[in-house]
Amino acid sequence: MIVTVAVIIILLVVLISYSCSHANAQKSKSPSVSAAVNTPPQADSRAGGKTDASSADSSEAELPDLAEAIARFSQETGAVPDNPDRQAFVEDFWRWIFGNAGIPDSLARKVAASALEGPAFVMDLLVALQEDPYTYCLVDKQNPLPLDYEPDDLVSLTGGGSYRITRDDLKLRKIAAQALEEMAAAAAADGIVLTAGSAYRSAAYQAQVYDREVKSYGKETADRESAQPGKSQHQLGLVVDFSPIDDAFAKTKASAWLLSNASRFGWSLSFPEGMENVTGYKWESWHYRYVGRDLAAFINTYFEGTQQYALQFIKAWQELKL
Ligand SMILES: [Zn+2]
């Protein structure tokens, strides 16, 4: 047990992590993104009014301040680090992290148990965090992107390969376009044709979409189905809405195929059925986000396939860098 705890602590300390830049980011100390990532400096300057431009240029990754995190945990919960029952302490520490992440207690207990079983959980997490930071960036009603965030490696979808498109102005980031092609080729081999109906949307375009929804259905309904500008995953350039973009999609063979296979290619269903109170949006059977193969596996293995919980956890984890 002591060995396991030691391994977890070491892994925590050697963690090199990056985070995406949020419009509501609070901490100027942590680098928002790695140097390679395409966050415009002005986007960072909106983050709490501080710019991360200098840290983004630095190749030095910051380490999580575990001592401070444990101190905060002890202060908030009354748990004592030198408690003779170390397993209970570490388990409580994990559950505290999951609690901070808004993970329901029943799931938090399960994930904490996985984390305590051995180093696999942390190892899998570290592997997932090696990907482009925007693949694990939480973007939702509480965590908007800067309105002027625009990926700089968008490519046009031609639909000339294994999938079809419903309009010729669709764009995705390069990594997502490639992953879509790979997934569509596998689907085609199974006799399934995937059709992309919507992909990247700028904040300005999202504003038009949202305003149209409000005009048609009223604000309350619009907010269940459509994101306000800055709060849409589509702005990441990592999301595809498969066609038809309505509930009829759930009954298609393409939908059934995606539910079984998408994660193998790094895609994850963002707004599953019955999760509106968690994701903030009604079930969208057609909306898949590219998160990378490792994170997709991580979501399935530890978070029961719920992308939202995994991304909330990653955000809370990164905030350990106090
Ligand atoms: Zn969508």
Residues lying with their CB under 5 A of ligand 1, a single-atom ion: 241, 287
Q: Could you tell me the distance, in angstroms and rounded to a whole number, from the CA of residue 226 to the centre of ligand 1?
A: 8
Q: Could you tell me the distance, in angstroms and rounded to a whole number, from the CA of residue 105 to the centre of ligand 1?
A: 29
Question: In what helix (H) or strand (E) does residue 143 lie, and over which residues does it extend?
Answer: none
Q: Could you tell me the distance, in angstroms and rounded to a whole number, from the CA of residue 253 to the centre of ligand 1?
A: 19
Q: Could you tell me the distance, in angstroms and rounded to a whole number, from the CA of residue 234 to the centre of ligand 1?
A: 6
Q: Could you tell me the distance, in angstroms and rounded to a whole number, from the CA of residue 125 to the centre of ligand 1?
A: 26
Q: Could you tell me the distance, in angstroms and rounded to a whole number, from the CA of residue 63 to the centre of ligand 1?
A: 35
Residue 316 · residue 73 · CB < 8 Å: no
Q: Could you tell me the distance, in angstroms and rounded to a whole number, from the CA of residue 124 to the centre of ligand 1?
A: 28
- What pLDDT score was predicted for residue 21? 58
- What pLDDT score was predicted for residue 170? 97
Q: Could you tell me the distance, in angstroms and rounded to a whole number, from the CA of residue 255 to the centre of ligand 1?
A: 14
Q: Could you tell me the distance, in angstroms and rounded to a whole number, from the CA of residue 317 to the centre of ligand 1?
A: 27
Q: Could you tell me the distance, in angstroms and rounded to a whole number, from the CA of residue 2 to the centre of ligand 1?
A: 46
Q: Could you tell me the distance, in angstroms and rounded to a whole number, from the CA of residue 303 to the centre of ligand 1?
A: 22
- What pLDDT score was predicted for residue 22? 57
Length of the chain: 322
Report the CATH fold assignment for 154-291.
Muramoyl-pentapeptide Carboxypeptidase; domain 2 (3.30.1380)
Q: Write 83-91 long-range contacts (CB < 8 A, 24+).
A: 86/1, 86/2, 86/5, 87/1, 87/5, 87/116, 90/5, 90/8, 90/116, 91/116
pTM: 0.81
Evaluated on CA atoms 300, 92, 126, 200, the torsion sign reads: positive
Q: Could you tell me the distance, in angstroms and rounded to a whole number, from the CA of residue 95 to the centre of ligand 1?
A: 32
- Residue 299 to residue 264: CA distance in whole angstroms: 12
Residue intervals in the chain for CATH 3.30.1380.10: 154-291
Q: Could you tell me the distance, in angstroms and rounded to a whole number, from the CA of residue 287 to the centre of ligand 1?
A: 4
Q: Write 273-279 long-range contacts (CB < 8 A, 24+).
A: 275/306, 275/308, 276/224, 278/306, 278/308, 278/309, 279/140, 279/308
Q: Could you tell me the distance, in angstroms and rounded to a whole number, from the CA of residue 56 to the centre of ligand 1?
A: 30
Residue 172 · residue 234 · CB < 8 Å: no
Q: Could you tell me the distance, in angstroms and rounded to a whole number, from the CA of residue 307 to the centre of ligand 1?
A: 14
Q: Could you tell me the distance, in angstroms and rounded to a whole number, from the CA of residue 240 to the centre of ligand 1?
A: 6
Q: Per residue in 291-320, is it b (16+ CB within 10 Å) or e — as a string?
A: bbbbbbbbbbebbebbbbbbbbbbbbbbbb
Tokens of 118: 């051995």
The per-residue pLDDT string of the chain (322 residues; one tens digit each, 9 = 90 and over) reads 454 554 455 445 444 445 565 544 433 333 343 333 334 333 333 333 333 333 333 334 445 566 777 788 888 888 876 666 777 888 888 888 898 899 999 999 899 889 888 889 989 999 999 999 999 999 999 999 999 999 999 999 987 789 999 999 999 999 999 999 999 999 999 999 999 999 999 999 999 999 999 999 999 988 888 899 999 999 999 999 999 999 999 999 999 999 999 999 999 999 999 999 999 999 999 999 999 999 999 999 999 999 999 999 999 988 876 3
- Residue 312 to residue 73: CA distance in whole angstroms: 18
Coil/strand/helix, residue 321? coil
- What pLDDT score was predicted for residue 182? 97
Q: Could you tell me the distance, in angstroms and rounded to a whole number, from the CA of residue 285 to the centre of ligand 1?
A: 9
